[in-house]
Amino acid sequence: MADNSILVVDDDPKIRTLLRNVLEGEGFAVREAETAAQVMAQIADSAPVLVTLDIHLGAENGIEIAREIRRTSHVPIIMVTGKDDVIDRVVGLEVGADDYITKPFHVREVIARVRSVLRRSDVAGQGAQDTATVQGTEASVAYRFDGLTAIPDQLELLDRDDAPSGLTSGDFKLLTVFLTRPKRVLSRDQLMDLTGGTEWNPLDRAIDNQIARLRKKIERDPSDPKLIKTVRGVGYTFAQDVEVVQSPCASKSA
């Protein structure tokens, strides 16, 4: 049963107390654990909205605990690492952690990262609701727009000659965000959230570069885009009408 709490996992009671005080001061409920058994019991019992997980837990390994959590739960995980734990941090992210905090950490950084991860989780959840039809009937749904066909269950985009366009999974995810929200202005921050990326900042050109790659695949003239339009000072919008149709794969198998 979910109780909207954050689970703090650390074998150092001082760190647990510090994080509890920080999080409770921001209105979060807090639960604590210091062993793998306690972690899994807490997740099964209370279904926390987020877990902060120290990589080094005495005799136990936080990365292994993260793996164990991911076998049964999609709860967001923020790893807590030492400042020199670069390899551990990378491995932690690879096994399914959503972000990390480096010790010693600042109170404001903790709150910022917690809220950022929760916001991404909430937006992803809303996106899943928005695309429930696609997820629930993947084999029967496709999107058509400007002569192109996007097939979610295959992560495939057919070009105007019905040939595969070779989109990467990341570019297809970005395209799906636009196709499920046509004619809505989306900020760069929203696009990063909806595609599961990191926080956007004004010096980060990742989304702009990905938009440029996607335009080369779907625009008739990428130098004069008509589908994905730039909204100056805000972000981007998908300006084309989108039709939801039966997937070509479904019609072949019917």
Residues comprising the chain, all counted:
254
Which is nearest to 101 in space by CA: 64, 146, 51?
Answer: 51
Chain segment 176-185, per-residue pLDDT in tens: 989 988 888 8
Chain segment 136-171, per-residue pLDDT in tens: 434 467 899 999 999 988 888 999 999 998 888 888
Q: Which residue type does 35 have?
A: T
Highest mean predicted confidence (pLDDT) among 44-58, 168-182, 211-225: 211-225
The second-level CATH assignment, the architecture, of 5-129 is: 3-Layer(aba) Sandwich (3.40)
Give the residue carrying structure tokens 């727009």.
Answer: 145
From residue 233, how far is each of 95, 215, 228 by CA, in Å? 36, 19, 15
Structure confidence at residue 246 (pLDDT): 77
Mean pLDDT, residues 84-101 taken together: 72
Confidence of residue 41 (pLDDT cuts 50, 70, 90): very high
How far apart, in whole angstroms, are the C-alpha atoms of residue 244 and residue 215?
21
Q: Is the dihedral of CA 218, 165, 141, 197 positive or negative?
A: negative
Question: Does 5-129 match 132-253 in CATH topology?
Answer: no
User: Would you say 126 and 181 are in contact if contact means Cβ atoms under 8 Å apart?
Assistant: no
Q: Determine what percent of the chain is predicted with pLDDT higher than 70.
A: 80
Confidence of residue 86 (pLDDT cuts 50, 70, 90): low
Query: Residue 253 above 50 pLDDT?
Result: no
| Cβ-proximal residues to 109 (8 Å cutoff; 6+ apart), any chain | 101
How far apart, in whole angstroms, are the C-alpha atoms of residue 50 and residue 7?
6
- The residues spanned by each domain of the chain are 5-129, 132-253
Q: Which residue type does 100 have?
A: Y
According to CATH, the topology of domain 132-253 is Arc Repressor Mutant, subunit A (1.10.10)
206: DSSP letter:
H
Structure confidence at residue 92 (pLDDT): 67
How far apart, in whole angstroms, are the C-alpha atoms of residue 61 and residue 160?
51
* Residue 246 backbone dihedrals phi, psi, to 5 degrees: -70, 135
Question: Could you tell me the two tokens for 110?
Answer: 């903790």
